């Protein structure tokens, strides 16, 4: 929150197009991800490959993160550079979290 108060760009992207939100989601730091979203981070900002934080969470079976992002307004219909949606990414996952992600995303569509 201190960075945002100091005027930091919450949607700044690194060389791969990853944002602080995407890193927080991948690291399973849901409190940090939630704070970034509350402060105005763009839930749909895609990386260089067109993947959004929602797609990343779905691909890794992170159902809690998928739920958080959907509640924040992330668009489950967006497609990455390969034409895949978050549901497509979740469907390829081979773990129990992927099943929960598929359920959440199916309901959101």
Per-domain boundaries in the chain: 2-108
- Residue 93 banded pLDDT, cuts 50, 70, 90: confident
Place domain 2-108 in its CATH homologous superfamily. Ankyrin repeat-containing domain (1.25.40.20)
Range with lowest mean pLDDT among 71-75, 84-88, 96-100: 96-100
Region 47-70 average pLDDT: 97
Torsion of CA 105, 31, 14, 75, to 10 degrees: 20
Q: Quote the pTM value.
A: 0.90
pLDDT of amino acid 4: 58
User: Is pLDDT of 6 > 60?
Assistant: no
Q: From CA 84, how far away is CA 34, in angstroms rounded?
A: 25
């Amino acid at each position: 929150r201190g960075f945002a108060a100091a005027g930091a760009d919450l949607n700044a992207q690194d060389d791969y197009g990853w944002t602080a939100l995407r890193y927080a989601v991948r690291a399973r730091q849901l409190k940090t991800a939630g704070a970034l979203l509350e402060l105005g981070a763009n839930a749909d900002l895609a990386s260089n490959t067109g993947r959004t934080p929602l797609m990343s969470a779905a691909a890794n079976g992170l159902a809690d993160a998928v739920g958080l992002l959907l509640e924040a307004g992330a668009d489950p219909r967006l497609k990455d550079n390969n034409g895949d949606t978050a549901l497509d990414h979740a469907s390829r996952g081979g773990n129990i979290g992927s099943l929960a992600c598929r359920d959440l995303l199916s309901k959101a569509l």
